Amino acid sequence: MAEMKFGGVTEQVMTREEFPLIRAKQVMAGETIAVLGYGVQGPGQALNLKDNGFKVIVGQRKGTSTWQKALNDGWVENETLFELDEACARGTILTFLLSDAGQIAAWPTVKKHLTKGKALCFSHGFGITFNEKTGIVPPSDVDVILVAPKGSGTSLRRLFQAGKGLNSSYAVHQNSTGKAYDRVLAMGIGIGSGYLFETSFRKEVYSDLTGERGVLMGAIAGVFEAQYNCLRRNGHSPSEAFNETVEELTQSLMPLVAENGMDWMYANCSTTAQRGALDWRHKFRKAVDPVFDELYASVVSGREAEIAIEAGRKPDYRAGLEKELTELRNSEIWQAGAQVRKLRP
């Protein structure tokens, strides 16, 4: 384990130096990794594992667009691509990457194939943490592990192909075989993680749901809209409002923050921008602190999970979702964004 120090906090993390790919392959010798689901995380994880030399098969419902995507990506029907039931039967490590709603629906199929000594691997703590709502309770004689990349499956794949890695958290919920920690670390290295930090299923889902609703998507979209609308109300053009709100942040500033940190960003901007940002930062933090406390409490209580599960069960959910996404797509800010992106050199 490598040590990372954050002020007065020391954290143990696993890197590729401490747990190299050759060791991961040794741990996985004789294992068949069945990647169940080929939607958001499935393609990136399955292809990275395959390219790293692991034995991988894909389980997906035949006749779907994701089945066709798997075929297009080089998986071969009845050789490396199977219906879900068959993939579960063949796999020794079942990597459960269906959506949360999909996991609930498929659980009876998956559970019957969880024979003694197998491992059930997740990339999200939702199903286990909220099992009173999902019904996902694995048998006691299998390992239950988690490897959660901190980003999209698309990013996981792109960074892997570029020779880089996306950091992941890992957790062991059940160590029936005594091999669960080796298995989970091997999976983490196999999918192309930059480094691995330990968590629990509960902490993973609490941080994940908070992040999705907060800074990663919900909060940032809301702040984008608020600033864009403010500029438009005060007579600024759509191009000016979008460039000052989104384009400069995503194309210029955030890559620098990712590379060097926000402290570096503050130190390397104009004195006018520096002074204003330092002052207003506190006002924005104080304004949103109560919102984040409310959000986190809603996540921990299970309310956010309940909302997601109930929404997914509605027969007209997909139609309603498409309506909401269309409204977002057609809003002026993102129509302006579509035009701005076309003009990028």
Active site residues: 124
Name residue 184's amino acid. Answer: V
Distance of CA 73 to the CA centre of its chain: 21
Question: Do the strands 193-198 and 166-174 form a parallel or antiparallel pair, or are they unpaired?
Answer: parallel
Long-range residue pairs from 333-341, CB within 8 A, at least 24 positions apart, any chain: 333/224, 333/225, 333/228, 333/229, 333/238, 333/241, 333/242, 333/245, 333/246, 335/238, 336/238, 336/239, 336/241, 336/242, 337/242, 337/246, 337/247, 339/239, 340/239, 340/242, 340/243, 340/247
Ramachandran angles phi, psi of 169, nearest 5°: -95, 160
Q: What residues pair up with 58 in beta bridges, in sequence order?
A: 35, 81
* CA angle 119–123–125, rounded 5-degree value: 90
Q: How many angstroms separate the CA atoms of 69 and 72, rounded?
A: 5
| CA–CA separation, 345 and 273 (whole Å) | 27
Spell 285-324 as b/e; 16+ CB within 10 A means b: eeebeeeeeebbebbeeeebbeebbeebeeeeeeeeeeee
Half-sphere exposure of 110 (CA within 13 A, CB side): 31
Q: Can you tell me whether residue 45 is helix, strand or coil?
A: helix
The strands making up 93-96's β-sheet, listed across from edge to edge, are 2-6, 9-15, 193-198, 166-174, 143-149, 119-122, 93-96, 33-36, 56-59, 81-82
Give residue 96's identity as a one-letter amino acid code. F
Radius of gyration over alpha carbons of the chain, in Å?
A: 22
